[in-house]
């Protein structure tokens, strides 16, 4: 029993000696950053008695107005960081531990915990240029828009920005200046000529729905369905169409009627029947609609249209 008591006293004395003469090794939760190495045995340089670290003690050495442009000893750093200086002067209230931590290792990067723009004064939260004056992208879009980044971006992240086309005003930018890699590769868009403007169908409000002006490419006679699926089959592309959904003749009868008239190239209905009307014919480019070629249509009975592709003279371009 006596031996156990003596052992306890020796251990207690050793522990007390360690706390007194080497407190850092006795109670440290981890390695300090290199800049704080000299303070490792002076806990009260950062900690309040019987408490944790305080921002006031941090600022005894790290004055917000000097951060980035002066060292803690008052000298100029090898490279000034004016952005860091502006940032730290702008944070209110001054609570270092909202962004920083300690005892995570010797690297200074380990002391940087996180940052939230909500720490800034409200008046600065939308004045991005106060800190990011040299970070504006140098592309066509950003050269034209205002300096108010918050019109498109938010403080949660640079990417995932919204965009309002009115911000570029009356500039002469074409859609492809910004969306060069965004042109759809479906049958409809692949057939458009390079000088076709996206705005002929689309608006800056949204890509979908579009407003396709069918009259510009294929003028109906007024008796045709307004729904695209009335003539076009979903999934087959817009150049593929059928006239059999409404016109009751069979492919065999159409072939017979046209061959009887000496017409062998009849697979592309709209090449001759530009309005979809059987009596409105411009066969092989000869004659005008409604003149002598009209006779061919009247003799052929009802409009005869097959499941074909628009010819080169009627592609959506």
SS3 238: coil
Sequence-separated (6 or more) residues with CB below 8 Å from residue 279: 290, 294, 297, 298
What's the pLDDT score for residue 55?
Answer: 94
Question: Are residues 131 and 87 in contact, defined by beta-carbon separation less than 8 angstroms?
Answer: yes
SS3 157: strand
What is the number of alpha carbons within 13 Å of residue 161 lying toward its C-beta?
A: 15
Question: Are residues 140 and 177 in contact, defined by beta-carbon separation less than 8 angstroms?
Answer: yes
> How far is the C-alpha of 308 from the C-alpha of 270, rounded, in Å?
10
Residue-level pLDDT, tens digit, the chain, 317 residues: 667 767 767 776 766 666 666 665 667 788 999 999 999 888 899 999 888 899 999 999 999 999 999 999 889 998 999 888 888 988 888 889 989 999 999 998 888 878 888 888 887 888 888 788 778 788 777 877 766 788 888 888 788 787 778 777 766 777 877 787 777 777 667 666 666 778 778 888 777 777 777 776 677 776 777 777 778 776 666 667 888 777 767 788 888 888 888 888 877 787 788 777 777 777 654 433 333 333 333 333 333 344 444 443 433 33
What's the pLDDT score for residue 69?
Answer: 94
What's the pLDDT score for residue 112?
Answer: 85
Buried b (16+ CB within 10 A) or exposed e, 296-311: bbeebeebbbbbbbbe
Detail the DSSP E strand segments found in 197-285. Answer: 240-241
Quote the pTM value. 0.47
């Amino acid at each position: 029993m006596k031996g156990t008591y003596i052992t306890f006293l020796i251990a207690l004395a050793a522990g007390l000696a360690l706390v007194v003469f080497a407190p850092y090794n006795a109670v440290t939760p981890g390695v300090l950053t290199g800049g704080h190495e000299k303070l490792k045995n002076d806990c009260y340089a950062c900690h309040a008695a019987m408490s944790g670290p305080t921002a006031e003690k941090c600022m005894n050495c790290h004055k917000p107005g000097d951060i980035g442009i002066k060292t803690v000893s008052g000298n100029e750093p090898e490279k000034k960081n004016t952005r860091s200086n502006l940032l730290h002067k702008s944070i209110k209230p001054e609570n270092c531990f909202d962004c920083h931590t300690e005892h995570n290792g010797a690297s200074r990067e380990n002391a940087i915990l996180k940052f939230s723009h909500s720490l800034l004064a409200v008046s600065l939260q939308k004045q991005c240029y106060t800190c990011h004056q040299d970070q504006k992208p140098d592309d066509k879009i950003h050269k034209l828009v205002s300096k108010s980044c918050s019109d498109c971006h938010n403080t949660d992240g640079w990417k995932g920005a919204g965009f309002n086309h009115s911000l570029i005003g009356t500039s002469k930018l074409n859609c492809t200046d910004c969306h060069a890699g965004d042109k759809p590769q479906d049958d409809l868009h692949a057939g458009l000529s390079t000088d076709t403007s996206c705005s002929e169908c689309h608006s800056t409000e949204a890509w979908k729905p579009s407003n396709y002006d069918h009259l510009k490419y294929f003028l109906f006679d007024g008796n045709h369905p307004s729904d695209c699926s009335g003539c076009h089959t979903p999934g087959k592309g817009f150049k593929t169409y059928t006239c059999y959904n409404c016109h009751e003749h069979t492919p065999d009868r159409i072939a017979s009627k046209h061959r009887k008239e000496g017409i062998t190239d009849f697979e592309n209905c709209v090449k001759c029947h530009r309005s979809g009307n059987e009596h409105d014919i411009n066969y092989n480019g000869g004659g005008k609609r409604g003149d002598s070629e009209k006779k061919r249509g009247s003799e052929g009975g009802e409009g005869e249209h097959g499941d074909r592709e628009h010819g080169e003279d009627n592609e959506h371009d």
